[in-house]
Amino acid sequence: MKKIDIKRRMIQMSAAVILTFIMAGCEADILEQPPGDAVTSDEFFNTGADLKAYTNDLYAMLPTTSVYMDDSHSDNILGVSAGDRLRGTRIVPTDRGSGGWSWGYLRRINYFLENYARVDNEEATAQYSGIARFFRAYFYFEKVQRFGDVPWYSEVIDLEDEELLYKPRDSRELVMDSIMADIDYAIKNIPAEKELNRITKYTALILKARIALFEGTFRKYHGIEDYERFLEESSSAAKELMDSGAYSLYTAGGEKQAYLDLFAMENQNTTETILAVDFEFGLRTHDLAYRMTAPTQGRWGLTKELVNSYLMTDGTPFTDQSGYETMEFYEEMQNRDPRLTQTTAGPDFATYGSQDPEPVDLDITRTGYRVIKGLPPKGPQWGSGGSFNDVILFRYAEALLIYAEAKAELGTLTQGDLDNSINKLRDRVGLPHLNMAEANANPDPFQESLYDNVEQGANKGVILEIRRERRIELVNEGLRWDDLMRWKEGKKVEKPIEGIYFSELGAYDFNNDGRFDVYVHDGDASGAPDEVTSTINTNERPLTEGTSGNLLLFEGGSFDETRDYYYPIPMEDLELNENLEQNPGW
């Protein structure tokens, strides 16, 4: 069990009690609460410890297990069913402050920024004001991703100030420039320390790189001017993090184990992980393993399209193989990028920490490609609420991917840049290096078929390969949907989602040990061999060709190009503020 920082937890608990009074009622609708905080500001903002305690409360803004669940609503992973954003069935929320249009944490942040300078401690005021502005940048980045233009507030709003309370949206330019100013301030003022569960300068650098990559590519592919400036900021922030030497890729265990270990290990370390959510047995647990293994829960499975994107061990595309479309499970898993069988259960799958092969179980995965990335050892952790392996929010690999993509989209990428970024990721799993000239001379047709709006210039081939690498390296880390939105690839959700291939009804040996593991039938499983551990009823999970083909699990949704890149604002908020306008199409 991890050592618990009792003092830190007591500070956090004390802060929570104080803030209950300071921020009473702020969650209902932060922009309409009276400024009664002035009564307590003199009493609270006195020491550096006060500033730390206050900003500790802001960490609740960060996601937790949702980052390992979000891809199940994208083209990467399918769960029990396709979500609203895949189906195209999102609706306008009714209630005020719902659907992501909530502002509670912004008031807390701005209140802090109006009062922190009362403390006579230059080191503490610099650090914790930097952390507060990190969180304001994070807060507003999420708003821009979701809604586009939003009102920018940099102060606590008085109830009587109707001009501010009922202001219209500010321009994307103003909001994004303000976000960048906040994150630059954070980088300058937060110390360069390595702390797994705390915001540091390195966390601010990776957040800046992520923000600027999103904004730069969103502008480029959605036809908004000034995209180059953001891509330059993105590559610069990623490069500063890379040049710091503070982090490297986690390689312990070798090419067939390191990637798996990184997500399954109980306690993260600071080799590659920049920021993680801390979970501890008996204190704070989650249910991700339960969702991965219970047949009534997540039932997550990789999509066939994603599995097809993993390279062969010699660096060539799997989709260049003759007859790849009709390869059955055992054959398609051979000689592939080692990350494939560290992300999904392969023919020789043994649970983390065990040497004993696990029985094939297709009841817990809709697509047949069971998700094992982030799955801890079998046992109590697989029970409901029983897991306590840490959840990674930011890691160094993302900086390498951001750097390569930003440079490629700018047209300034070199082979040396690839060697310092993408090829380090390939080194971890023993894959041949990506060659820029070869990729651009021969863009992969399969990857081309996935992206209608990719750059059509000289760097098209290498951009496609960087997108492949990003998708594979970061799968199940909650970034895929945002990638599709910034690349203007929303129409991908209209494509069918397919799973594993079966050549006919009958029994299958998934691990080539001479024993049948899976039986596929059309309603009568009486012919299944005794040793079979999984059955598939094609009446419930149909095959694309009736008695053969891939599992057809989702026939495709709907995506309105004029509407669905943004979410709608709740109806009650529009009624309360007549200066707000609904997003187009909603």
Dihedral sign, Cα of residue 16, residue 1, residue 376, residue 261: positive
Query: What architecture (CATH level 2) is domain 6-79+99-244?
Result: Alpha Horseshoe (1.25)
The pLDDT confidence band at residue 401, using thresholds 50, 70 and 90, is very high
| 330 and 515 Cβ atoms separated by less than 8 Å | no
Strands 506-508 and 518-521: antiparallel
If one counts every other C-beta atom within 10 angstroms of the C-beta of residue 58, the result is: 22
Residue 1 has pLDDT above 80, yes or no: no
| 142 and 204 Cβ atoms separated by less than 8 Å | no
Q: What is the mean pLDDT of residues 59-68?
A: 95
pLDDT at position 40 is 63
User: Mind listing the pLDDT tens digit for each residue in 532-574?
Assistant: 999 999 999 999 999 999 999 999 999 999 999 999 999 999 9
**3-class secondary structure for 257-276?**
CHHHHHHHCCCCCCCCEEEE
Residue 23 has pLDDT above 80, yes or no: no
User: Mind listing the pLDDT tens digit for each residue in 230-247?
Assistant: 999 999 999 999 999 999
- Residue 420 DSSP SS3: coil
For residues 219 and 80, give the distance between their C-alpha atoms in angstroms, rounded to a whole number: 34
Residue 11 has pLDDT above 70, yes or no: no
pLDDT at position 42 is 73
User: Mind listing the pLDDT tens digit for each residue in 113-147?
Assistant: 999 999 999 999 999 999 999 999 999 999 999 99
| 177 and 167 Cβ atoms separated by less than 8 Å | no
| Residue spans per domain, the chain | 6-79+99-244, 501-552
The pLDDT confidence band at residue 190, using thresholds 50, 70 and 90, is very high
* 258-284 per-residue burial string, b: 16 or more CB within 10 A, e: under 16: bbbbbbbbbebebbbbbbbbbbeeeee
- Residue 497 DSSP SS3: strand
